[in-house]
């Protein structure tokens, strides 16, 4: 029996969605609503009409004042374009949620208590959990009889041992506030771990590189995370599009004193003005920085060198955590599409026996290592939404 399941990723001003036919995992429709709260908000989605081999695309602009209105617009568009006959066709909705804290080490069916805990954990993920919850509440109103599932970014990282997860600050703050390394991008790293295991069954020691505007690297041993470069929040680890990644913590009081920045100013600087944008002063889009570097822009060249160095730094650290590495998999926007970054990263990994084939790398092939490489190097497109859809089917027992 086939089931229609929605996978949802709610942002502060956006709502991304995929409608799956399960268990075939066929994508019936996919898209996003952008600029929620603005008069020029836009719905964009694609679908394949029944009986057609061609994909149809829809784009419409109109004021969309809230996530509730966005959900109404999205579901009505699915009906109007005959992707579904009625709302009753949707049997489950899954949501990506940033932080499940120490409460949730797996996805969970949403109820009032779960919503309360997601709200409570907004203190740990203030930029993400509140809007994830908004998405849930919007579906509560639109599909009141349909059960929802929360898939947490932190769940796949719950296997990180405490000796790795704790920060060397007074232990009482872990006891009082739960401050530790949670790690993020869990659905992506979980998908990559599963796909890499299919492609390289003998690979027990995997380093998964989710490199996009947000970026994280995971050390995965026999399918379980033992480390992740993000930390207490998604701000930690690698430099990203606009996020700083790891910095000396003493920089914060220094800038508070000398630049007269308050807590909000510091948060804005670290989350919105740093990383690739902050160093290059060109863009947070690495493609534009790569183009500028190719033209000899010194700041772009510096940015690219910093970015590559940090990726190599974490790969080296995680090779030590794993006591070796069998496979390195690149995914997400940069990881999947930037042959330049992959090549530069690999040039500094010869000590691990990593060698890539330039022709395969430039073609974004599935396997890009050379014949004499001791480590398999893969490029695998991520699919966080299918992990969410699988969680919905498993927890709502739709396959029974």
| CATH number, residue 236 | 3.30.420.40
What is the chain's pLDDT, residue by residue, as a tens digit (400 residues)? Answer: 899 999 999 887 889 999 999 999 999 999 999 888 888 899 999 998 776 777 889 898 899 998 999 999 999 999 999 999 999 999 999 999 999 999 999 999 999 999 999 999 988 888 789 999 999 999 999 999 999 999 999 999 999 999 999 999 999 999 998 899 999 999 999 999 999 999 999 999 999 999 999 999 999 999 999 999 999 999 999 999 999 999 999 999 999 999 999 999 999 999 999 999 999 999 999 999 999 999 999 999 999 999 999 999 999 999 999 999 999 999 999 999 999 999 999 999 999 999 999 999 999 999 999 999 999 999 999 999 999 999 999 999 987 6
Tell whether 276 is in a known binding site: no
Same domain, 218 and 148: no
Same domain, 23 and 111: yes
Same domain, 117 and 217: no
Tell whether 362 is in a known binding site: no
Same domain, 125 and 270: no
Asked if the structure places residue 161 within a domain, the reply is no
Active site residue 291: no
Same domain, 85 and 222: no
Same domain, 207 and 133: no
Same domain, 269 and 351: yes
Tell whether 54 is in a known binding site: no
Asked if the structure places residue 182 within a domain, the reply is no
Same domain, 143 and 37: yes
Q: Which domain holds residue 104?
A: 3-152
Please pick, among 40, 111, 153, 312, the residue that the annotation labels catalytic.
153
Asked if the structure places residue 159 within a domain, the reply is no
DSSP characters over 166-200: --SS-HHHHHHH--S-----HHHHHHHHHHHHHH-
Asked if the structure places residue 385 within a domain, the reply is no
Same domain, 9 and 140: yes
Asked if the structure places residue 188 within a domain, the reply is no
d(CA 97, CA 127): 11
Distances (CA, A) of 86 to 77, 78, 399: 11, 9, 21
Same domain, 143 and 276: no
Asked if the structure places residue 288 within a domain, the reply is yes
Tell whether 181 is in a known binding site: no
Same domain, 296 and 367: yes
DSSP characters over 193-241: HHHHHHH-TT--EEEEEEESSSEEEEEEETTEEEEES--SSTTSSS--S
Q: Name the domain count of the chain.
A: 2
Same domain, 228 and 305: yes
d(CA 275, CA 280): 8
Take residue 187 and report the two structure tokens written for it.
């659905």
Where among 152, 171, 189 does a domain terminate? Answer: 152
Asked if the structure places residue 83 within a domain, the reply is yes
Asked if the structure places residue 396 within a domain, the reply is no
């Amino acid at each position: 029996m086939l089931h229609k399941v929605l996978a949802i990723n709610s942002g502060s001003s956006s709502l991304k969605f995929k409608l799956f036919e399960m268990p075939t995992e066929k994508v019936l429709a996919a898209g996003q609503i952008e600029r929620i709260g603005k008069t020029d908000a836009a719905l964009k989605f694609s679908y394949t009409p029944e009986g057609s081999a061609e994909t149809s695309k829809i784009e419409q602009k109109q004021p969309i004042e809230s996530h509730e209105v966005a959900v109404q617009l999205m579901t009505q568009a699915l009906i109007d374009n005959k992707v579904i006959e009625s709302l009753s066709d949707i049997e489950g909705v899954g949501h990506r949620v940033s932080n499940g804290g120490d409460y949730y080490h797996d996805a969970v069916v949403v109820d009032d208590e779960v919503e309360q805990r997601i709200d409570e954990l907004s203190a740990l993920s203030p930029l993400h959990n509140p809007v994830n919850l908004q998405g849930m509440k919007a579906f509560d109103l639109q599909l009141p009889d349909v059960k929802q599932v929360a898939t947490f970014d932190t769940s796949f990282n719950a296997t990180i041992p405490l000796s790795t997860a704790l920060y060397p600050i007074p232990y009482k703050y872990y006891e009082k506030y739960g401050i530790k390394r949670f790690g993020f991008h869990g659905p992506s790293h979980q998908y990559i771990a599963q796909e890499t295991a299919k492609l390289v069954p003998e690979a027990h020691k995997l380093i998964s590189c989710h490199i996009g505007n947000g970026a994280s690297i995971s050390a995965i041993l026999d399918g379980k995370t033992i480390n992740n470069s993000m930390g207490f929040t998604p701000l930690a680890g690698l430099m990203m599009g606009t996020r700083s990644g790891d910095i000396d913590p003493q920089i914060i009081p220094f800038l508070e004193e000398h630049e007269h920045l308050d807590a909000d100013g510091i948060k804005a600087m670290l989350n919105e003005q740093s990383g690739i944008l902050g160093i290059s002063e060109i863009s947070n889009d690495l493609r534009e920085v790569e183009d500028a570097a190719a033209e000899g822009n010194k700041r772009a060249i510096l940015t690219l060198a910093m970015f590559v160095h940090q990726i190599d730094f974490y790969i080296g650290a995680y090779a030590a955590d794993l006591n070796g590495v069998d496979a390195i998999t690149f995914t997400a926007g940069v990881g999947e599409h930037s042959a330049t970054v992959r090549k530069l990263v690999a040039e500094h990994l010869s000590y691990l026996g990593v060698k890539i084939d330039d022709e395969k790398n430039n073609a974004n092939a599935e396997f890009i290592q050379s014949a004499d490489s001791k480590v398999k190097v893969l490029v695998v497109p991520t699919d966080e939404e299918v992990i969410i859809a699988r969680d919905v089917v498993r927890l709502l027992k739709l396959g029974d």
